Structure 1
Amino acid sequence: MKQNLSKLEQIRIPRWTVNYHGRIELHGFSDTSEEAYAAVVYLRSVSDINGLELNAVVLLAKLMKRIAEPLNRFQIEKYAWTDSTIVLQWLSSHPRKWSTYIANRVSSILEILPRRQWGHVPSLQNPANCASRGITPLELVNHSLCWFGPIWLADDPGNWKRNVPDEAFDYNTPEIRQPKRSDCLSPSKLHDARLQFARMAQFEVYQKEIVYLVQHSEIFPKSQIAELCLLLDGDGTLRALGRLQQSSYSFEVKHPVILPKAHWFIRLLVEELHLQNCHAGPSLPRRRQASDKQLCEMLSSKS
């Protein structure tokens, strides 16, 4: 044993691990015997290929926008394709579900190309692979996939297999949550349903404002609601920051929901509250006798 110790001089352990994406894994192993116990740890560098795929999709969205601008005199239908199913999953849900890095890029992508314009293409039929994986100049000259795209692109669009994710996760609608079934609707479920419809109204009328707010933490100056101080709560509901922030009222009362007054749901909501309160006038929300929930809803309807 002692005679072999000199062999240890031949061992070299690198102190620097190549990693350009900030993610590593530590794998530990342990064992024991009557003579000794030991532990070994290995560091594994991980390449985040999905994050790189997302950057490629951002590049594609910007490129399609740039190409479409000088062609605006034509009626353009846009179709975007990627072979990354993970990226399509990110695009199928609201950006607030993901980390900041992913959410910012998903928002910028969907602002240019809505989710319904995205589809899945197999890797072998993806012409962008020619550039990402590399081909020789000799191969490029007669590379049909590179110059003409996949063969099915020449077929009728009805024959394309786009494999679009479930419509239930459309970016233009609030995320759909499946509640547990019961024999009757409780007041809390009815209230949650009203908020869900409120988010739907917001997305239909204030979609640009919401996307801009996610990206810049403010509303763009030309918006009709630019004069308001706004926030997005944990459920993605657009709310106002008013003078009641320091009060003892509930969160919903202090931060009323922003609702577009011309939307059909808002008209139904105001009519419902009007009938529930026996045709009361607009001064009712200011009465202290009103419950917090009614106060919140009535103030929201006036916004």
Structure 2
Amino acid sequence: MWPSVTLYYGATQSVLRWIGSTHRRFKQFVGNRVADILESTKVAQWRWLPSADNVADDATRSRFSVDLSEESPWLNGPAFLSRPAASWPGSAPSDEANADDEEEMPSELVLIGASETFILIQRFSSYRRLLRTAAWVLRFTRRCRGQRDELENYGLTAAECEDAENLLIRKAQHEAFPDEMRAAESRLEVARRTDICGLAPYLDGNGVLRAYGRIDTALCIPYSAKRPVILSHRHSLTEMVVRDQLPSEPVRKRSLGTNGAVREEVAAPHGEGSGAERARPGEFPDRGGEH
């Protein structure tokens, strides 16, 4: 008569934990052996056997002789086998972690703070090159997350460039106005002692710090001019934006026009020192309607 249930006993709890484990973080040898065991058995078939009942150890224990009589446990098996199955020793393997188990690969967790600082703005001298580099990096990160758009097969899109520009502006604003950005993000009033308090700063839908203007009701003026981006005149991004936006006029003729052109879309406190004398052709992109 074939047995209806087959049980396997092991005297080492570490081995039983490996068999019952669900994480499979083992060194190669242990992982291979556990895989071999589970190919022909199930976890529920394994039980733990106390050393006192493990007759298989009789041959390895320090004894002068081993009982090999007809009644010996070595030949007949442990005594508990003659009792009802409910009284048999042992429990099923568990998945409890054991920090002292050298055969398990330790799980390592690395925590990093989320940051948008993935490009050093100071290493670029051209705003357009900086913008395109940031856009390509953002596309790469989206593809790493499995996000892909058919339009991405034809070069950078306008939306990608806009996302990159907003990210660069946020980075520059966090570096130049950390306290003001935290206050705006928490919907708190910006301290009056700050340079930008008089600009009535607020965050738009893209998390960009903008200034309220006095021409909100004007219909013929774009949103970027009504609510200009706030940048520090000391930040390198502001200098690049200035150089990229101004027309190619002789230096001696564009001193007064510099601040007027830049302030249409960028509010830079003390903007007279924003490096306009080194400006070159270009135009700061218009982001259109309100966000």
Bin for the TM-score computed over the shorter chain: 0.3 to 0.5
TM-score by length of 2: 0.38
Task: Choose between structure 1 and 2: higher helix proportion.
Answer: 1
Q: Which structure would you say has the larger RCO, counting Cα contacts within 8 Å and 6 or more residues apart?
A: 2
TM-score by length of 1: 0.37
